[in-house]
A = this chain, B = another copy of it.
Amino acid sequence: MKAIVIHGPKDLRISDRAVAPPGDGQVLVDVGAGGICGSDLHYYHDGGFGTVRVREPMVLGHEVAGTVAAVGAGVGRVGPGDRIAINPSRPCHGCVYCREAKYNHCLNMRFYGSAMPFPHIQGAFQQQLLVDEQQCVPVGTEASVNEAALSEPFSVALHALRQAGPLAGKHVLVTGCGPIGALCAVAARYYGALTVTITDIVSSPLAVARTLGVDEAIDVAAEPERLERYAAGKGHFHVVVEASGAQPAIEAALRVIRPRGTLVQVGVGGNVTLPLGAIVSREVEIRGSFRFHEEFEWAASLIASRRVDLSPLISGVFPVQDAIAAFEQASDRARAMKVQIAFQ
State the A residues within 8 Å of B (CB).
50, 93, 96-97, 99-102, 104-105, 107, 158, 161-163, 165-169, 190-192, 194, 233-234, 245, 259-260, 265-277, 279-290, 294-295, 297-298, 301-302
Q: A266: shortest Cβ distance to chain B, in Å?
A: 7
Chain B residues in 8 Å Cβ range of A274: 271-274
Interface centre among A192, A267, A269 (most CB of B within 10 A): A192
B194 contacts A168, C-beta separation under 8 Å: no
Report A89 CB to chain B, min CB distance, Å.
Answer: 14
In whole angstroms, what is the CA distance A168 to B299 when docked? 10
**Complex alpha-carbon distance, A290 and B273, angstroms:** 20
| Nearest Cβ on chain B to A344's Cβ, whole angstroms | 31
**Which residues of chain B are near A272, meaning CB under 8 Å?**
273-274, 276
Complex Cα distance, B162 from A265, in Å, reads 23
Across-interface contacts of A270 in B (CB, < 8 A): 275-277
> For residue A165, which residues in chain B have a CB less than 8 angstroms away from its CB?
166
Q: Are A259 and B289 in touch, CB under 8 angstroms?
A: no
B294 adjacent to A288 (CB under 8 Å): no
- Ordered by A's residue number, 16 sampled pairs between the chains whose C-beta atoms are within 8 Å are A97-B259, A99-B101, A105-B234, A105-B259, A107-B233, A167-B191, A169-B298, A190-B192, A245-B276, A268-B276, A271-B273, A272-B273, A272-B274, A285-B285, A285-B286, A286-B287
Q: Given A167-B191, A168-B158, A168-B191, does the pair A289, B295 have CB atoms closer than 8 Å?
A: no
A102 CA to B35 CA in the complex, in Å?
35
User: Is A280 in contact with B290, judged by CB distance below 8 angstroms?
Assistant: yes
Contact present for A168 and B273 (CB under 8 Å): no
Contact of A234 with B166 in the complex, beta carbons under 8 Å: no
Of all A-B residue pairs in the complex, the 10 with the closest CB atoms, nearest first, are A101-B101, A105-B259, A191-B192, A280-B288, A286-B286, A279-B288, A283-B288, A273-B273, A285-B287, A169-B298
- The interface residues of chain B lying within 8 Å CB-to-CB of A169 are 158, 294-295, 297-298
Distance of A259 Cα from B150 Cα, bound (Å): 27
Extra pairs beyond A169-B297, A169-B298 (11, CB < 8 Å): A158-B169, A162-B168, A168-B191, A191-B192, A194-B298, A268-B276, A268-B277, A268-B280, A271-B273, A271-B274, A283-B290
CA distance A301 to B169 in the complex (A): 10
